Chain A
């Protein structure tokens, strides 16, 4: 089966750093995606990791450890606009094509 776990909710203050963890158990694993979804809007792509290590993109970084089935999304210098849900998704190869298996999302609330 496919299983993606992440915390349901987190809170942080403006200017701080927050780390959102994700653990996964998937067969046919082909990488780990992070998406951001603001309330009432579509998910938008943040990052993709297929090899172990850290990928940095501005204020956001994502880390993957394939051996541990673990990823995290790190958000620095938090801004109010970062209040959103963050979706961890495992990319799974299925009969030669890829599908995304999403976790339930972590709702992040940034307060002043």
Chain B
């Protein structure tokens, strides 16, 4: 059983296009995240949602728009793609109990986005 799944696994597109990546988790978690991992393997948080509400919004261009239709899904839409958007995008989920320490994050397999 896949805990955190993402589609597509690979995405190759032209500069200027708009694309979406989808994420689903079947762990019953209430918090989901989007991370970007660049070519130097640096993993950086972009967004986090808790029960469909945006709780973390790092300094990300507004071409990136996350959407959480329900707490099991978190999608990422990217407008006007640029070369610098090429990276691996990871979705993750955790059970967040406000202020409680231990909340291991489970990561999806990643979506490798290549912008030409």
Q: Measuring CB to CB, which residues of chain A are less than 8 angstroms from any residue of chain B?
A: 30-31, 33, 37, 41-45, 48, 50, 85, 87, 91, 93-102, 104-105, 107
Contact = CB atoms under 8 A, between A and B. Distances in A.
A43 B90 contact: yes
A30 B101 contact: yes
Interface stretch (B12-20, B40-48, B67-75, B76-84): B40-48
Nearest to B4: A42
Given A95-B55, A105-B41, A105-B43, A42 B96 contact: no
A19 B98 CA distance: 33
B82 to A, nearest CB: 23
30 contacts: A30-B101, A31-B101, A31-B102, A33-B104, A42-B90, A42-B108, A42-B109, A43-B43, A43-B90, A43-B107, A48-B101, A87-B43, A91-B101, A94-B55, A94-B56, A95-B55, A96-B98, A97-B48, A97-B50, A97-B98, A98-B96, A99-B48, A99-B56, A100-B45, A102-B43, A102-B44, A104-B40, A105-B41, A105-B42, A107-B41
Contacts, number: 59
Interface in B10-67: 31, 33, 40-45, 48, 50, 55-56
Contact of B110 (A42, A91, A99): A42
B45 to A, nearest CB: 5
Interface of B: 31, 33, 40-45, 48, 50, 55-56, 90, 96, 98-99, 101-110
Given A41-B109, A44-B107, A104 B55 contact: no
B56 A104 contact: no
